[in-house]
Structure 1
């Protein structure tokens, strides 16, 4: 066998067989197939291969399972991250707000949905869908169709909590602790509107005719 002179380059080529992942049509699950490639032990990759990738030819990386890209810089998740999730490392997704689960496939609403509300995705955004008697971002606000007047607060569907001095389904009825007399009407807390010829706080005084 002849000798190798100075300045000559010896290129050692080794045939390797590697198992790489490919996706079957209609499925995110990986499937292994045998693929042959030629490995140059003197190959250089700039920038270097990441995540245990192997430089098999100049600027050509062979990526380890779960990574892809020119330098194996991108992680793969199987199944793929859903709803805009980002694959941080093989099998680990970082989910956007409103989504959770291993692959960001579950819709989640911050603080949950109250009073029978259902968390669902609306145009890609997690949102509570409320029953007809509730509203608010978490279905936390009751609806009173009749309205609550005079400072009343809707505390349950169709039910108002009235401030002192008011009653009724809509807090529309004033309360006079002393009843109005002689046909007078209570128009606000402890205030009577009197019919002629009566006057006074309780309409108890009859005006004298001249």
Structure 2
């Protein structure tokens, strides 16, 4: 039969304790996870199973005590199996790591390690290709030991200037001759021609100089100056006898006379029918009496060789090369360098590209490099109207509506916009 309910008669138990009917009376019993404060168990307190070691948490977990119980939390880098156990999480296999695409992911206990792969440098989360020796002349390292060269350069490290004149890239007008420069070229008017003021890039603006009209000739002794395309001729009038002598540096030279140019022992001049022609001394290296001062390329002695600035290249006497925007030449064991001559530009907008030694003309102010010393100073008097119709002063900058990473500026009345590299939304 059903026993008597002693608890129903108002037997009171404290917190975390519950009443339990016995055969002859009621008694207080602590709830699971609690221990009695005194013998009658009317009052109970929480048992810290974690501290007492009375929990069931397995390896790779942390025991956390709760009121009347406990729970097991997985350590960082581990995944839950059940309420009491966790297993290691392999981020490398699951793809939940933060390693760069060019890094090697190595799983560790509770975590992982990122190491940049061969040919790359960085902290593992970001890896950049590494080119041994570095890319020269503005080139970019795009993969291990592979440089992407800027226009006008070539070589494994972009260390070699492309001679556009020699390879036929340059399309210069016949009235000009091509002058190779580091990274590009220049079409320069030939002797007897000058630019008409339009300064065409291909030299189409080079026109003939009338030496006779301008007095830039050497005709004398009754000879008559006759202008020719790119030159002139000294002719005797009909019925007269002309000596064909030449006037040079204030001295009269007879027709056919050959002499060494004053102050330059490596140049010889000839008077031919009233005209003076000068040229460099012809170098015949087979001649045992060749002047090595004028013909350093004929000097094959090892002591006359030169080393490049980094010591990696050996040049023979007479060789020339470009280094840091300087033309260098090996002269009998000594290196002489001088600044690369840059053509005079007659245009408003110029730009000095990275890796180039000389500025070049561009058609738009937006193509100029604002940080370049060759860039033209903006005209502050020329304003612009932005996309909202507001007037922007010359030289001012702003961000257009809806373009937090676009930066526009007013330059010579033109609106020039580009992506802002410092914008956090670009990262």
Larger Rg: 2
Query: TM class by shorter-chain length?
Result: 0.3 to 0.5
Under a length normalisation based on structure 2, what TM-score does the superposition of the two structures give? 0.26
When you count helix as a share of all residues, which structure comes out higher? 2
